[in-house]
Amino acid sequence: MPLDTQNVTQDRGTPLVEMRNIRLSFGGIHAVDDVSIELYPGEVHGVLGHNGAGKSCLMKVLSGAYKKDSGDILINGEKADIQNPRDARNYNIECIYQTLALADNLDAASNLFLGRELVTPMGLVNDGKMEAETRKIMKRLNPNFQRFHSPVSALSGGQRQSVAISRAVYFNAKILIMDEPTAALGVEETQMVANLIEELKSQGLGILLIDHDVHQVKALCDRASVMKNGKLVGTVKVDEVTEDDILGMIILGKNPEKGMA
């Protein structure tokens, strides 16, 4: 993607999300230790690191799944109070978890609207309306998707992924967290996700992309933050560093000489 990095770094206005000095520990283990990152509108921000580096924990603080011990989260420059997933949703933060977080026994529509069901005037869930909406968004995201009445346990990995993605996209997310969205996908489906990220980015969403694949991060992200042992190693502009630079950050915890953001 042809991005003007110079421009992006200099005049980006208020960040969409600013996480400042976030700390999170589980029984004495510092899962996230004084980490600060920010995300701008129209930016894809990679979050990298080994397993257990704390990337998923940091993201779960933002999505409300974990409560931070200290630190601040600012949304559009204002302090946000995120105590649970519902709060995060109210700030238009959507998260596609690595596990997809689908209720396997329910169908696609029930999963898409879980926690935000469409109801009839009598307050009963409106399955017809929800299915119609699901069909609409699926036509856009995955036109081959047809199994609207099967429980999602019966779907293929790619189909399940598209249910999880449609859930994030349907509710007009402003901030999208994707935790290894392509880990379980084939080549073609990975390309679909890449195209979708491009499309959402052009609509001005901010996307936090957790990934292991440095090559993919180079291709999709504008900036990348690397974490190691719960701490932030550094944040770089991906176009100004090499893949080896990023690998060095991940493995050795060593920042490159140029390209820091």
Partner 1 sequence: MADSTDKTDLPQHTRRNILDTMEIDTRLLGMIGAFVIICVVFDVWTGGRFLTPRNIFNLTIQTVSVAIMATGMVFVIVTRHIDLSVGALLATCSAIMAITQTAILPNMLGIELGSSLIAPITIVVGIIVGTLIGAFQGWLIGYLTIPAFIVTLGGLFVWRNVAWHMSAGQTVGPLDPTFLSLGGTSGTLGATGSWILGVLAAGFVLYLLINARRSKVAHDFPVKPMWAELIIAGCTTGAILGFVWILNSYQIPAGRLAREFAAAGKEMPEGYTEVYGVPYSVLILIVIALVMTIVAQRTRLGRYIFATGGNPEAAELSGINIRFLTVKIFAIVGFLCAISAVVASARLTYHTNDIGTLDELRVIAAAVIGGTALSGGFGTIYGAILGALIMQSLQSGMAMVGVEAPYQNIVVGIVLVLAVYVDIVYRKRTGD
- Residues lying near partner 1 in the complex (CB under 8 A) are found at 63, 65, 84-86, 89, 95, 97, 99-106, 110, 114-117, 119, 123-125, 127-129, 131-132, 135, 141-144, 146, 150-151, 153-154, 158-159, 161-162, 165, 185, 188-189, 192-193
Residue 58 vs 250, nearer CB to partner 1: 58
Residues contacting residue 87 through CB under 8 Å, at least 6 positions apart? 64, 80, 81
**Neighbouring C-beta atoms of residue 53, cutoff 10 Å:** 23
| Contact in structure between 136 and 67 (CB atoms under 8 Å) | no
Residue 100 vs 208, nearer CB to partner 1: 100
Residue 142 vs 225, nearer CB to partner 1: 142
Nearest distance, CB of residue 192 and partner 1, angstroms:
4
**Neighbouring C-beta atoms of residue 126, cutoff 10 Å:** 17
| Contact in structure between 104 and 151 (CB atoms under 8 Å) | yes
Nearest distance, CB of residue 113 and partner 1, angstroms:
9
| Contact in structure between 182 and 216 (CB atoms under 8 Å) | yes
| Contact in structure between 62 and 99 (CB atoms under 8 Å) | no
Q: Describe the strand order of the beta sheet including 175-179 as a list of residue ranges.
A: 93-96, 175-179, 206-210, 44-48, 223-228, 231-237
Q: Mapping DSSP to helix (H, G, I), strand (E, B) and coil, where does residue 12 land? A: coil
Residue 180 vs 245, nearer CB to partner 1: 180
Nearest distance, CB of residue 101 and partner 1, angstroms:
4
Nearest distance, CB of residue 136 and partner 1, angstroms:
11
Residue 127 CA to residue 131 CA, distance in Å, equals: 6
Residue 126 vs 229, nearer CB to partner 1: 126
Residue 113 CA to residue 255 CA, distance in Å, equals: 42
Nearest distance, CB of residue 73 and partner 1, angstroms:
17
Nearest distance, CB of residue 20 and partner 1, angstroms:
24
Q: Mapping DSSP to helix (H, G, I), strand (E, B) and coil, where does residue 101 land? A: coil
Residue 27 vs 123, nearer CB to partner 1: 123
